[in-house]
Amino acid sequence: MNRRDMLKLSSYVVAAASAPAVVASAEAPGAAGGSIARWDFVEIDLPGPSSGNPYIDIEVSATFRYQHRAIHVNGFYDGEGSYKIRFMPDEVGAWNWTTASNAQALDGKTGTFECVAQAAGNRGPVEVRDSFHFGYADGTPFVECGTTCYAWAFQAEQTQRETIQTLTTSPFNKLRMCLFPKWYQYNRSEPPMYPFPRSGDVNDYSRFTPAYFQHLDHLILELRGIGVQADLILFHPYDKWGYQSMPPEVDDRYLRYVIARFSAFRNVWWSLANEFDLLKSKTNADWDRYARIVEEFDPSSHLRSIHYSRSPYDYSRGWCTHAGIQDSHMDRAAGWRIDWRKPVVFDECRYEGDIASRWGSLSGDGMTRRFWLTAAQGTYCGHGETYIWPDNILWWSHGGVLHGTSPKKIAFLRKLLEETIAVGPGPIGFTSIGEDPYGARRSNNSVLFYYFDDQQPAVQNYNLPEGKTYTAEYVDTIALTRTPLPGEYTGKVEVKLPGTPWGSLCFREKGVA
Amino acid sequence: MNRRDMLKLSSYVVAAASAPAVVASAEAPGAAGGSIARWDFVEIDLPGPSSGNPYIDIEVSATFRYQHRAIHVNGFYDGEGSYKIRFMPDEVGAWNWTTASNAQALDGKTGTFECVAQAAGNRGPVEVRDSFHFGYADGTPFVECGTTCYAWAFQAEQTQRETIQTLTTSPFNKLRMCLFPKWYQYNRSEPPMYPFPRSGDVNDYSRFTPAYFQHLDHLILELRGIGVQADLILFHPYDKWGYQSMPPEVDDRYLRYVIARFSAFRNVWWSLANEFDLLKSKTNADWDRYARIVEEFDPSSHLRSIHYSRSPYDYSRGWCTHAGIQDSHMDRAAGWRIDWRKPVVFDECRYEGDIASRWGSLSGDGMTRRFWLTAAQGTYCGHGETYIWPDNILWWSHGGVLHGTSPKKIAFLRKLLEETIAVGPGPIGFTSIGEDPYGARRSNNSVLFYYFDDQQPAVQNYNLPEGKTYTAEYVDTIALTRTPLPGEYTGKVEVKLPGTPWGSLCFREKGVA
């Protein structure tokens, strides 16, 4: 065994050993065999200098090569003399890599690995599909259905375990979470660790706390293991420690560090901020710079967006892949689709709960309604939950368990969407009809889908697309019933409906959808 | 008895005799005594020429004088040689009048009458009060609560009687009604009479049909008798007879005619149009001209507005006294108040019903909610009802009887408003707080009023205005319950709430409201 082989082997062994249990058991591809599943990640772990300040002094990267492609990937220092370079291969076949560093011990190392087909359940990262929608890299539609546990990473271990358990049986397939600890109402405790070494009130921004970020590795991979996208919030204003107003060079180093650590995890999304406009010390130029850094340093090009409070962001900007808005005017969705030509996600439209704040006292049916309103405009909604609960554990920020009535109803909607309008393979584009009763359809007209909101028509007339025969299903979005309507529908049709509010109607082309 | 006295006496006798039974029985002030109640009307009935075309050839008017004031009032030809001049006196005391005409028989007639204090139930016309609101001329607040029976004037007599009966026990104190017959879905029959003599498809626009307008007199006075404002729609596009595209001089003569006939009725409001922008043959200059005519020829300066379909009207225009909008984005109300500095009335925000059209299939609770949303922004809403019903009699257009669930709930709201935020005498101005949970308050802070919509806070915090002590009442807007909350409230308070949606909270200053 020559030195190159040793390196290669050690990197896989380390990768497998350091990966959390969920990953290891779910897919952990042959550390022994020198192969890695597509959309899993390799981790090159190199011993190097631990003296001086490795975070600043040492640069390490690798170029990963597959046939004609060469992909540059930055590594990061993980403490105790350990330098890591992580990479998510996206092609099955033979890959090789070469490192580069200003430290001799890390420079010019090489290796190879075989990327093999992914196992069931690994669908790859989520991407934009058909302009307005999302899909996994393997082609499966991704019906975005998000929730928030902003500060779950900083809660008691038991709560973190509960959060994963809750998500396992919830309809939510994306979780917004902060990388920095949170200080806000209901969030008034010190985190168990700090991202930078901290002495009293002083942060040592020249270094990171490896254990802090290793813990985040673990949580993101836990989410990966249960099929939940981790929508990572890079900056936020709910802060008492100084992370909202660090020097620019620290911001940038922090961004490069978390990108190097997390971008090999296929379930990562980047959210530049929660309520960016409340970070008063940052300018538009700062946000532009952060966006460029995320674009430039993430070799896997994960989805990117930003979330605002009162100043709507211009989501037509080139760097962002989708709109991640905060608004509760759900009827604006269709217009924004037209404006931005991107997926529109209402990452925040208030939360189901009963707290005093208006953003956290939405009824369960009010939350559910917002999901229907967005779905019927070919857009997406986000959930959160703020019921006052013993020990002040509110799902919205802490995770734990869900108490509300909307998740069950949202699950019903997601299942309906996945079975109808988003069914694959084939085009999954919604086409908003642009006026209510809110209506969407698949671009090939194989599915037409309407939501009646607080309207209660006893009859509706449709002029169905030519040359197609449809079956119809009436959906009660509150009672959670799906009732096939008798007969078949072609051309101009009159459909009798129950004349009750909160209904939906779905036409499916016979023999197709 | 000299000639002057005869004239005077005859006018009162005729006025009393020609006025519908409701008026006569409700207030009919001394025809014999030569006196008239304030805000009732006198009608000078003069015999004159019936040859030629009296509608065009003859002009008649009167100047009514009270102390230093002189008010010019146009008369109209009512057929069969009868010329009438109607006038609503607004001051108690001695009045006199002199006619002028290009016909000798009608010129230079004079008379006097005594205007006496009004009887109970006669509060005078409705005016704008405190910029954003309405009040009767006697000072009583008018909590606008409108509905529509657009074409009730052209239905079977039995339906018209039912309409009056229904309105008598309904919460609605304003009715939108068309002066021209209506041709539209569910409205496909010829009217019993035409406003202009009609032969086949040809209208004789040079004459009016007195019986047609006498019937409208009767209906408007029926509404006056039960305390309902008649929001008269002067033009509309639902037409097959040609009234939407008459020559300009006919439009103008028609306007002067109906103004001369109806402006002495204290319950009249003028609405230039329903869905003005659908009257494709009319230009902005036409609408400006109509507005000027209504302003110029109505001696009583009744309230004036206009209603649109898709092109919002600029209600900052000087001629209109209030906004009479069509929109179902109720959250825009507070902003429009700020923009226009006028009362904002959602004359149309869809109707409770179950027909196929989206404008007519709102649930009862959806309709009710819209009334709450506007009220809590210091604005006003309009009802209509479109349940499919035997014989296609839909309240929205035909009148008849109400079948929906919202009127009872709207009545509950109106009563609450009248007992709290609009209680008089004294200032009745709402001050919108400008954000939700939707909140309004009396300008003197004696009442604070919130509506929680689909929010369900279990607790709310308030910083009550300094130096005042309040009691509080929780309102369930769907269950129609009003629950006094225990204790008194001063300064910073935390209020426990049921944590259910569709609630409202009302603070009332102790000992004041």
> Looking at beta carbons, which residues of chain A come within 8 Å of B452?
361
Query: Average per-residue pLDDT in chain B?
Result: 90
Chain B interface, best mutation among A309, A327, A363, by max B CB count within 10 A: A363
Confidence of residue B446 (pLDDT cuts 50, 70, 90): confident
Chain centre distance of CA A34: 30
Q: Do the beta carbons of residue A288 and residue A276 sit within 8 Å?
A: no
> Tell me, what's the pLDDT at B430?
52
Cβ partners under 8 Å of residue B18, min gap 6 = B43, B45
- Residue A25 is predicted with a pLDDT of 24
CA distance B403 to chain A (A): 14
Query: What number of C-beta contacts closer than 8 Å exist between A and B?
Result: 87
Q: Which residue has the tokens 């990108």?
A: A259
A409 CA: distance to closest CA in chain B (Å): 16
Residue A5 has pLDDT above 90, yes or no: no
How sure is the predictor about B17, in pLDDT bands with cuts at 50, 70 and 90? very low
**Which of A455, A458, A494 is nearest residue B388 as measured by Cβ atoms?**
A458
d(CA A512, CA A446): 7
Residue A1 has pLDDT above 60, yes or no: no
| ipTM tops the 0.85 cut | no
Residue of chain A nearest B386, judged by CA positions: A457
Read off the tokens for B443.
């300008």
Question: Tell me: the pLDDT tens digits for B112-137?
Answer: 999 999 999 999 999 998 888 999 99
Give which of A455, A476, A477 to mutate to test B binding, by max B Cβ within 10 Å. A455
Q: What's the per-residue H, E or C state across B83-126?
A: EEEEECCCCCEEEEEEEEECCHHHCCCEEEEEEECCCCCCCCCE
A478 token code pair: 């509150």
A201-218 confidence digits (pLDDT tens): 999 999 999 999 999 999
Per the CB < 8 A criterion, the answer to whether A39 and A88 are in contact is yes
Better-predicted residue by pLDDT, A115 or B24: A115
Give the A-side interface with B, CB within 8 Å: 329, 331, 350, 353-358, 361-363, 365-366, 369, 388, 435-437, 452, 454-461, 494, 499-501
pLDDT of residue B83: 97
Q: What confidence score (pLDDT) does residue A423 get? A: 59
A245: three-class secondary structure by DSSP: helix
Q: Answer whether residue B427 shows pLDDT above 60.
A: no
Whole-number pLDDT of residue A335 = 83
Q: Using 50, 70 and 90 to split pLDDT, how confident is the model at B7?
A: very low
> Would you call A3 helix, strand, or coil by DSSP?
helix
pLDDT tens digits for range A438-497? 788 777 888 888 999 999 999 999 999 999 999 999 999 999 999 999 999 999 999 999
Confidence of residue B51 (pLDDT cuts 50, 70, 90): very high
Exposure class string for B30-54: b at 16+ Cβ within 10 A, else e: ebeebbbbbbbbbbbbbebbeeeeb
- Model confidence, pTM: 0.84
Q: Which pLDDT belongs to residue A430? A: 52
Q: What is the mean pLDDT of residues B389-397?
A: 90
The predicted structure's pLDDT at residue B396: 98
Q: β-strands B110-116, B35-37: how paired?
A: parallel
Partners of residue A350 in chain B, C-beta under 8 Å: 455
Q: Which residue has the tokens 């700062």?
A: A286
Looking at the complex, report in whole angstroms how far the Cα of residue A452 sits from the nearest Cα belonging to chain B: 9
Cα-to-chain-centroid distance, residue A7: 33
Share the mean pLDDT of chain A. 90
Q: Angle CA(A98)–CA(A102)–CA(A104) in degrees, nearest 5?
A: 70
pLDDT in tens, B344-386: 999 999 999 999 998 999 999 999 999 999 998 889 999 999 9
Q: With an 8 Å Cβ cutoff, are A363 and B457 in contact?
A: no
pLDDT at residue A437 tops 80: no
Please answer yes or no on whether B358 and A461 come within 8 Å at the CB atom: no
The pLDDT score that the predictor gives to residue B423 is 59
Mean pLDDT of A258-263: 98
Of residues B355, B366, B455, nearest to A454 (C-beta)? B366
A457 vs B356, B366, B455: nearest CB:
B356
Burial of A328 (0-12, 13-18, 19+ CB in 10 A): middle
Contacts of B334 in chain A (CB under 8 A): none
Q: Please check the confidence at residue A418 and state whether its pLDDT lies above 50.
A: yes
